[in-house]
Structure 1
Amino acid sequence: MGTMEAPILTVNNLNKQFGSGCDQCSNPADRRLDKNYCPACGTVYSCQNITFDLHPGEVLGIVGESGSGKSTLMRCLYFDQEVTSGEAYLGPYKEGRSNLFRESSQQKRYIRNHLMGKVYQNPVLGLRMNFSSIGNIAEKMIAAGNRNVAAMEARGSELLERVHIPVYRMKEAPKNFSGGMQQRVQIAKALSNHPPILLLDEVTTGLDLSVQANVLDLIKHLQRELSISILLVSHDLGVIRMLANRTMVMLDGRVVEQGLTDQILEDPHHAYTQQLVHSLL
C-alpha cells in the first residue's frame, strides 16, 4: 500500500456531544469532566476532536472500552447521528472537497447508499428481519436507484454465495438465522453497491469464538479480494491484530494513541493502551 496515495476518507476535529454544555465544560481548553461526562450539567462529550485519515485498501482499527466513543464515531460517519461539529471528506465524492456533514439529507442518503456500507453490532439495526435475505440486499440496491430485478437477483445471489449463505436459504428471512449468518447477510448487504468504504462496528461481539473466526476470515478475504477500505471498531485487540494495518485507540471520547497496529501492540505508549495490550497477553 503506497502511503503517498491520497486518503479515501479524511476526518477533522469531529465532535459529538449530548447536552448543551455549561460554564464548566463548554470551553474545550479547560473542560472539567469525569471521564467524558460533565458532573455539573450532565453533558456527555462522546467524541472530542477526532481526526484521522483512511487510505485506499487500508483497514483502520478503532479500539477502546465501552463508552469510549467509537460507536458514536461510526454512527456520525454513516449519518445515523448528526455531528456537533467537524469535517469529513470522501475522495470519490465531489473530488474530496465537500464536507460531508454539511451536505443535504438527500446527498447524505446518496453517500450512504453508494459510497459506504455499514455492518452493525446488532443485526436488527442493519437488516429487516422479516424480509428474505436476498430482499435485504435488493433493498439497498433499490435505495441506490437500481430497478432491474434480474440484475438485483443475480447480484444478491452472488453476494450471499460469497458470504457462504447456501443458495436454498436465500429466500429465507434472517430472523431464522444464527447470529453468525445474520452478520454475513449484513456484510453481503453492505457490499451490494460496490462501496469503496465499509464501516464495521463490533461485528463479532456476542458470537461464539469459532463463528467469530469465520466472520473475521470472511472479512479478511473480501477486503483483499475487493481491496476495499475498512473502518473496524472493536473492544477486542485480538480482532484488531488480525485485521487492522493501523490502529487508533480511543478513551473517554478522545484518540489517545494511533499508529501501525504492530507498533501499538509491541510498544504501546499510552497507559491505557499498555493495559489493553497486557490484558491480551
Structure 2
Amino acid sequence: MDDFDRPILSVNHLSKQFGPGCIHCSSGQSDSLIKNYCPTCGTVYACHDISFDLYPGEVFGIVGESGSGKSTLMQCLYFDQEVTEGEALITSYKNGEANIFEESSQQKRYIRNHQMGKVYQNPMLGLRMGFSSIGNIAEKLIAAGGRNVGAMEARGRELLEHVNIPIRRMKEPPKNFSGGMQQRVQIAKALSNNPPILLLDEVTTGLDLSVQANVLDLIKKLQRELNISMIIVSHDLGVIRMLADRTMVMLDGKVIEYGLTDQILEDPQHRYTQQLVHSLL
C-alpha cells in the first residue's frame, strides 16, 4: 500500500463519558437522554463512538456548536483527558500497531513530544506566559530530549521568524503579546519537533476578524510548506471551508455527517448541517 493511501492516524470507536452511567443511559443512545446528558444519573456522553481517518498532508475539519464534543475529542487525542473506550493508531508510532490510549504515561509523553503538536483555543493552556517566547519553544525541545543550547536557540529563531514574530521580541514573554501573536507563538512551539500531526482547537475564537485572517493565512502557508497533517476544530464553518479537505460534523457528542468539505457545503444531508451552511450564506 502506498504511504499516501494509508491513514497517518486512525481513530476507532472513541467514547468519552463524564459520570458512571446508569441502566437508563448506559449505551449513550437512550431515549431518556436530554441531548447527551442523562437527567437520572447526571452522566454526560461528551463523545460517543467517534471514528475517522487522517491522511498524510490532509487538513481534516471538525465542526459543531459549543458542547458538541469536538474539543473533548481533541483533549482525548492529546491525552489531556482519558478516553472511556476506543483506539487510535499512528502510522509513524510502532508502525501503527499500538493503541496509543493504552500506552504507558511515559510513552504518551513521547507521543506528545514527537508525534503531535497542539494549539489550544486559550494560549494560557499551551504557553508559559512568564517564560520568554523562545524559552517556550526550548521547553518543548528539551522535553523531546534536546540538550544543545545553540541548536535549540537557532531552531527557536527559525520558528519565530516562520510565524512572523519579530526576532527582537523573542526574549519577551507571551503575556506582553496580543492574542494573535500568542497564537503564533503557540504554533511555533507546537511545530518545534516537526510532528507529523498538528491539532488546532478553535485557534481563531476571540480574535478580531483581521487577526483571524492572518492566523488562518499562516496555517495555510505552513500546511503547504511542511505538508503536515492537521485536525482543525471550529464552530465556524467559514474557517473549515477555508482550510479543510474533509469535514466531520458533530452534534451532542456524535458524528452526524462526514465527507469532502465541498460536498458537505454544497449538499448537506443532516438538518443541523443545513442550518450551519445556511448561516454561512
| TM-score of the aligned structures, taking structure 1 as reference length | 0.98
- Name stretches of at least 5 consecutive residues in structure 1 with no aligned partner: none
Tell me the equivalent position of 1:230.
230
Partner of 1:188 in structure 2?
188
Per the alignment, residue 112 of structure 1 pairs with 112
Match of 1:101 in 2: 101
Worse-superposed segment, 24-33 or 119-128: 24-33
SS in 2 for 1:113: helix
**Are the aligned partners of 2:16 and 2:46 in contact in 1 as well (CA < 8 Å)?**
yes
2:111 corresponds to which letter in structure 1?
I
Q: Is the 8 A contact 2:61 2:244 kept in 1?
A: yes
The letter of the residue matching 1:138 is A
| Residue equivalent to 1:144 | 144
The Cα RMSD (Å) is 1.1
Residue of structure 2 in register with 1:207 after alignment: 207
For residues 233-265 of structure 1, the C-alpha deviation after alignment (integer angstroms, 9 at most, x for no partner) is 000000000000000000000000000000000
Amino acid at match of 1:111: I
CA contact (8 A) 2:4 2:56 kept: no
Could you tell me how far apart the structure 2 residues matched to 1:4 and 1:160 are? 30
Q: Summarize deviations over 1:102-150 as a string: whole Å, max 9, x none.
A: 0000000000000100000000000000000000000000000000100
Alignment partner, residue 128 of structure 1: 128
Aligned to 1:155: 155
User: For residue 19 of structure 1, what is the amino acid of its counterpart?
Assistant: G
Structure 1 partner of 2:279: 279
Give the deviation of 1:27 after TM superposition: 2.7
What is the CA distance between 1:32 and its match in structure 2?
2.4
Contact 2:141 2:193 in 1 (8 A): yes
1:31 Cα deviation (Å)?
5.2
In 2: Cα distance, 1:222 partner to 1:17 partner: 35
Structure 1 letter corresponding to 2:66: S
* Distance verdict in 2 for CA 1:29–1:209, change over 3 Å: closer
The Cα of 1:28 is off from its aligned counterpart by: 4.1
What percent of counterpart residues are identical?
79
Please report how far the alpha carbon of residue 30 of structure 1 lies from its aligned counterpart in structure 2 after TM superposition: 3.7
Q: Does 1:178 align with 2:213?
A: no
Letter paired with 1:270: H
Determine the C-alpha separation between the residues in 1 that align with 2:66 and 2:109. Answer: 28
